[in-house]
Amino acid sequence: MNNLVVFASGSGSNFQSIIDAITSGQLSARIVGLVTNKNEAYAIERAKNNNIPVLVLNPSDFEDNSEYSEKLLQQLTDWNTDLIVLAGYLRKIPASIIQAFDNRILNIHPALLPKFGGKGFYGMNVHTAVIEQQEVETGCTVHVVTEEYDKGPILGQSKVQVLDTDTPEDLAKRVLTEEHKLYPRVIQSHLETLNQH
Question: Which residue's CB is nearer to ligand GRF, number 104 or number 127?
Answer: 127
Q: Which residues pair with 4 in a beta bridge?
A: 31, 83
Question: Which residue's CB is nearer to ligand GRF, number 85 or number 191?
Answer: 85
Q: How far is the CB of 66 from ligand GRF (least distance, A)?
A: 26
Question: What CA–CA distance (Å, rounded) separates 160 from 121?
Answer: 18
Cis peptide, bond prior to residue 94, ω within 30 of zero: no
Question: Which residue's CB is nearer to ligand GRF, number 110 or number 152?
Answer: 110
Q: How far is the CB of 54 from ligand GRF (least distance, A)?
A: 15
Would you tell me which residues interact with ligand GRF (CB under 6 A)?
Answer: 8, 10-14, 87-88, 108-110, 140, 176, 179
Residue 32: helix, strand or coil by DSSP?
strand
Is 180 one of the catalytic residues?
A: no
Nearest-CB residue for ligand GRF? 88
Contacts of 157 (CB under 8 A, 6+ apart): 112, 113, 139, 140, 141, 142, 182
Contacts of 114 (CB under 8 A, 6+ apart): 150, 151
Catalytic hit among 109, 127, 143, 190 = 109
Q: How far is the CB of 196 from ligand GRF (least distance, A)?
A: 28
Q: How far is the CB of 90 from ligand GRF (least distance, A)?
A: 8
Question: Which residue's CB is nearer to ligand GRF, number 12 or number 94?
Answer: 12
DSSP string, 55-124: EE--GGG-SSHHHHHHHHHHHHHHTT-SEEEESS--SPPPHHHHHHTTT-EEEEESS-TTTT-STT--TH
Question: Catalytic residues, which ones?
Answer: 109
